[in-house]
Amino acid sequence: MSVHPIVTGEEPVGRPRLGDVLVQLGLLDHHQVAAALESRLASGGTRRLGRVVRELGLVDESDLARALAVQHVLPLIDLDPGNVDSAVARLIPRALAERHAVVAFARRGTRLAVAVADPVDVVALDDVRALTGVTGIDAHVAPESRIREALAIVWSQQVDTTLVADFLHEVTPVDVPVDDADPATDAATIRLVDRLLADAVRAGASDLHVEPSRDGVRVRMRVDGVLRETFLLPRTGSSAITARFKIIADLDVIERRLPQDGRALTRVEGERVDLRVSTLPSMHGETVVVRLLPASHRLPRLDALGLTGEQQRLLLDVVHRPQGLVLITGPTGSGKTNTLYAALSEGVDSSRNVITLEDPVEIELPGVTQVHIDERTGMTFGRGLRAALRQDPDVVLVGEIRDRETAELAVRAALTGHLVLSTLHTLDSASAVTRLLDMGVPGYLLTSSLALVLSQRLVRVPCPECAVRHDPDPFLLATLWVSDPVGGWLETVGCLACGGTGYRGRTAVLETLEVGPEVRRALLEGGDESSIRRAARLAGTRSMREQAVELARRGGTTLEEIVRAVPDDPDHSA
């Protein structure tokens, strides 16, 4: 982390205007400044000029920081987010730091050195001085994204030691049955659980695991499909944490011998989050797993999920049809539900009646009738589908086809004027077709009803902060049947921004099988997976491995990730 003093030449009388500084540094000309000022006035004149020129794409963030440093005669700091001292940064309350984009990076006696994105915001600096108790603030200018990255690293996946100490002080010294003085209602327990949920949301985790063991209570988060251990708590207080999660999900706090499932809607740092809480009795106590579900307004669009332009066109074309069967296959956690929801959101308007049958309902969709399937009460997919078809639906989403009854009902519904979308647990698209045949669905019915099969997996995306270009291992290329080594292949390194994993985020890799004349012919001839796959290849279908390799060639994932997450190409493994 280095500080660059700004040399401005002749000292101006008073503070120069930012527009003049931008022109003086050669970053903008007078016409561009005038256009930015007009845009600022058109939007009410309340936005700062620096934000306007950034939003218009006239200067980048680093150049704007340099100009602000010149304007205010402040040092420009090359802030390294990974080297910010967490203890110093946490002197400023988190809400204040994030609201004003300010981070403390050094304490020098009774003075505090801070990096700010907007040095005009003197009120924020006064608040920092008052809340930290220091005698003075030494302000430095840094790009806002670097400050926010530093704040994310400082606060992400870290539980304040004083918070844990308070929690351990308030709970009982040993795990005892919950009584009227339940530590689950203590302020420290509530704060600790709230912090766990907030850290999970901030990290983009899909699941939060609280697992008691002989050595303590292990807390893990599933980020980008991989579990990361966050920290280990002493066993003292295990029951208090479990009880708090039960209270949130309205479960029976006293019942510890049987598994329980519940749901909750809560707000984490002002954002609405749907929680699905599951408890399971184990040898050392109850294990709690919390699934964190996004709100419906945060559902990604198809183009953000990883579908190519051709795949989007094909899927939306089928969804716009009045009838037919669409299947998405893949293991649990492969993103099938998100793809189905996105297809419904973009391909079905309010003129059509949509009913979904789900086990469980994961995300509430506005304008859609969603039915919870619970086989313990007799509400099976088959029974639910029969009832749904009496509700005058145009589109029916069946969460999963598990048995012959549901399969036959779905196929017949697709034949009688309904669009049916569902999922299957199979390795690829061709095996989904043979799975339905094995369930007893006649081939002639499938040829008339089945419109499209998609098979998908999720692969991790290389971290943009640390991934580097490299030449792949020839053996790895040969393993994936890659004959042309030319491409923008990336290798992961690992940094603080990605938690040392080398990856940030995931994207889908899909294989599409459109049921055209070739596939129909193979079905009518009673073909097996190989013949259906050959027919699909003749029709232009590319395997999932081939799609994944092309994605890696563009730098969208790595070859190692393909080996981990994408199944073998049956044409090559056979």
Which residues, other chains included, contact 180 with Cβ-Cβ below 8 Å and sequence gap of 6+? Answer: none
Q: How far apart are CA 326 and CA 421, in angstroms?
A: 5
Going by pLDDT thresholds of 50, 70 and 90, the confidence category of residue 177 is very low
pLDDT at 557 over 60: yes
Stretch 545-565: mean pLDDT, rounded? 91
Going by pLDDT thresholds of 50, 70 and 90, the confidence category of residue 107 is confident
- Per-residue pLDDT tens for 408-431? 999 999 998 899 999 998 888 888
Stretch 539-564: mean pLDDT, rounded? 89
Summary mean pLDDT of the chain: 83
What is the reported pLDDT for 169? 55
Q: How far apart are CA 511 and CA 443, in angstroms?
A: 22
Q: How far apart are CA 80 and CA 102, in angstroms?
A: 14
What is the reported pLDDT for 290? 95
DSSP 79: -
Q: What is the token pair recorded at 134? A: 């220091």
DSSP letters, 555-572, are: TSS-HHHHHHHS---HHH
Stretch 311-333: mean pLDDT, rounded? 91
Q: Pick from 2-6, 59-63, 201-205, 242-246 the range whose average pLDDT is largest.
A: 242-246
- The number of beta carbons lying within 10 Å of the beta carbon of residue 204 is 16
- Among candidates 481, 462, 477, which has minimal Cα distance to 543? 481
- Per-residue pLDDT tens for 354-412? 999 988 787 778 888 999 888 778 888 889 999 999 999 999 999 889 889 889 999 99
pLDDT at 14 over 80: no
pLDDT above 90 as % of the chain: 24
What is the reported pLDDT for 203? 79
Stretch 550-571: mean pLDDT, rounded? 87
- Per-residue pLDDT tens for 113-145? 899 988 888 888 888 888 877 888 889 999 988
- The number of beta carbons lying within 10 Å of the beta carbon of residue 311 is 20
Task: Output 119 or 496, whichever has higher pLDDT.
Answer: 119
Q: What is the token pair recorded at 474? A: 């020839």
- Per-residue pLDDT tens for 444-476? 888 889 999 999 999 999 988 888 888 888 888
pLDDT at 179 over 80: no
Unique residue bearing structure tokens 């598994």? 259
Q: How far apart are CA 471 and CA 468, in angstroms?
A: 10
Q: What is the token pair recorded at 302? A: 């198809």
- The number of beta carbons lying within 10 Å of the beta carbon of residue 57 is 7
pLDDT at 286 over 50: yes
What is the reported pLDDT for 176? 41
What is the reported pLDDT for 180? 41
Q: What angle do CA 469, 474, 480 make, to 5 degrees?
A: 95
pLDDT at 574 over 60: no
What is the reported pLDDT for 391? 93
Q: What is the token pair recorded at 362? A: 């994961």
What is the reported pLDDT for 428? 85
What is the reported pLDDT for 328? 94
- Per-residue pLDDT tens for 54-74? 878 888 888 899 999 898 889
Q: What is the token pair recorded at 128? A: 């920092």
Going by pLDDT thresholds of 50, 70 and 90, the confidence category of residue 338 is confident
Q: How far apart are CA 28 and CA 52, in angstroms?
A: 13
- Per-residue pLDDT tens for 30-53? 888 888 888 878 777 677 888 888
What is the reported pLDDT for 7? 40
Which residues, other chains included, contact 437 with Cβ-Cβ below 8 Å and sequence gap of 6+? Answer: 443, 446, 523
Stretch 23-36: mean pLDDT, rounded? 87
Say which range, 88-97, 421-430, 553-562, has the weakest mean pLDDT: 88-97
| Secondary structure (3-state) at 47 | coil
Going by pLDDT thresholds of 50, 70 and 90, the confidence category of residue 6 is very low
Q: How far apart are CA 574 and CA 428, in angstroms?
A: 14
Task: Output 498 or 212, whichever has higher pLDDT.
Answer: 212
Q: How far apart are CA 244 and CA 72, in angstroms?
A: 50
Which runs of consecutive H residues, i.e. helices, occur in 450-538? 474-479, 517-524, 529-538
- Per-residue pLDDT tens for 196-208? 888 888 778 899 9
Going by pLDDT thresholds of 50, 70 and 90, the confidence category of residue 182 is low
Stretch 68-91: mean pLDDT, rounded? 84
Stretch 13-21: mean pLDDT, rounded? 78
Q: How far apart are CA 76 and CA 91, in angstroms?
A: 22
Going by pLDDT thresholds of 50, 70 and 90, the confidence category of residue 181 is very low
Q: How far apart are CA 443 and CA 445, in angstroms?
A: 5
Q: What angle do CA 203, 558, 492 make, to 5 degrees?
A: 60
Q: What is the token pair recorded at 516? A: 């055209």
Q: What is the 3-state secondary structure of 361-378?
A: CCCCCCCCEEEECEHHHC
Phi, psi of 414 (to 5 degrees): -65, -25
Stretch 101-115: mean pLDDT, rounded? 87
pLDDT at 273 over 90: no
Q: What angle do CA 300, 306, 310 make, to 5 degrees?
A: 110
Q: What is the token pair recorded at 352? A: 């059509």
What is the reported pLDDT for 236? 77
